[in-house]
Chains A and B, each alone.
Chain A
């Protein structure tokens, strides 16, 4: 497939706690012939900390990235759900408020009015590339794998920027997983908040939210949770152990990026290394289901 070429905002997490998300994203895009040109010298979007404490800063930080994206004049592909949300909100506010646009232009010293589209990776794969094309390149059906898709907050809210088919019950990730042979288990917690922004500061609150998600995922018969957000993934992986006050059961449910499973299905090299690096290892599960090439060889 030709013609799929984007400028690319990898985001901070994808070279830190969520390196596997970044690596598997890039590998999957290579395998599908999607061209990614990394935004030169991009900066952090400010995440929730900027937006929660300083409104102007929360637009100016992504504003500089949008100004850089302007120079590349391509749609901007974003991996992290939080970066996606911050860039999307900033673009909408800059492009419909000339006074604000002028202020941001002053602060960043370049034109932040980006006319391309800010796209999330999942949106691009589901709506531009499509399941038929993905299936054509598929090397391995992930049969036997039971998963619940976890969208979290930022892929669906605020609704103005939701690319999924529904705000309350999205199915984009469900359908993508089904296309590669995963058994998607129904559950009602797809878009519940995991409390990510409080993960370090109010661990007690977060443990309660995370524990509930795991209990529900286990009840739904899932052997893993699949996500498209590095904040959710880090938070869910880190907080499965019972803390001081919150809950008693220790969960050991792997939390995987959808790109890792997609990479596995496409037979992309390097994905197994990503899987091996999770805090809650999915390797025993993958071995049992014979989904690893090294095992099958």
Chain B
């Protein structure tokens, strides 16, 4: 039996993203052109329908909301002008806000590391990002050879770049509750 239904899901998502997913007529154009569809557990057109059916638990616990690469190919092509990528964003943010355990922990860890780096320095520094990501995702040994090549080619700078006005950056994170959750 499908549990975790929420009849208010569609309305809530519409309030957040402005998207009217009920106008989807299931042509599947979105799924046909999606570059990562092969790796998804729910295809984009299925996500649209499931929002209408209020299948909140399945949606927020899906891999799809994390795998979506925000390439917007679907949104550009939808004959009903649904911003499918925007719906994916809305669902992902809902999952983050509600503390749902992400089905793709590495992807969630990547975003968390990326934002932690900005919070710290105001700018993105690859060594900080990679270090934080490896610690959070526990994938310490991935890409070690590549890291060495990048260091040799001076692709990775060891001295971090920072914003001078660090207080302004902290204020932005505090004001938008960034990096607190996830």
Which chain A residues have a beta carbon within 8 Å of chain B's beta carbons?
12-13, 15-17, 19, 41-44, 46-57, 60-61, 63-64, 106-109, 153, 157-159, 167-168, 191-193, 195-198, 200-205, 208-209, 238, 277-279
Contact = CB atoms under 8 A, between A and B. Distances in A.
Instruction: Tell me the dominant secondary structure on chain A's binding face.
Output: helix
Contact of B177 (A19, A56, A193): A56
B76 A159 contact: yes
B110 A16 contact: no
Given A43-B163, A195-B35, A205-B36, 17 more contacts: A41-B164, A50-B178, A52-B92, A53-B182, A54-B176, A54-B179, A56-B178, A57-B115, A64-B168, A107-B171, A158-B72, A200-B142, A201-B137, A203-B142, A205-B39, A208-B38, A278-B153
B114 A47 contact: yes
A254 to B, nearest CB: 13
Contacts of A209: 35-36
Contacts of B123: 12, 43-44
A193 B35 contact: yes
Interface string B28-56: 00000001101100000000000000000
A17 B123 CA distance: 13
Interface in B140-154: 142-143, 146, 149-150, 153-154
B76 A158 contact: yes
Interface in B70-103: 70-73, 75-76, 83, 89, 92-93, 96
B59 interface: no
A191 B72 CA distance: 11
Nearest to B74: A157
Interface residues of B, number: 59
11 contacts: A17-B126, A43-B169, A47-B124, A56-B176, A57-B178, A108-B168, A201-B133, A202-B107, A203-B142, A277-B154, A279-B150
A205 B171 contact: no
A13 B182 CA distance: 25
Nearest to A18: B155
A70 B6 CA distance: 44
Given A43-B163, A53-B92, A48 B70 contact: yes
A49 B161 contact: no
A279 B122 CA distance: 27
Nearest to A61: B172
Given A16-B155, A41-B165, A153-B71, A107 B38 contact: no
Contacts of B115: 46, 49-50, 53-54, 57
A51 B39 CA distance: 22
Contact of B175 (A107, A196, A208): A107
A9 to B, nearest CB: 12
Contact of B76 (A17, A64, A167, A279): A167
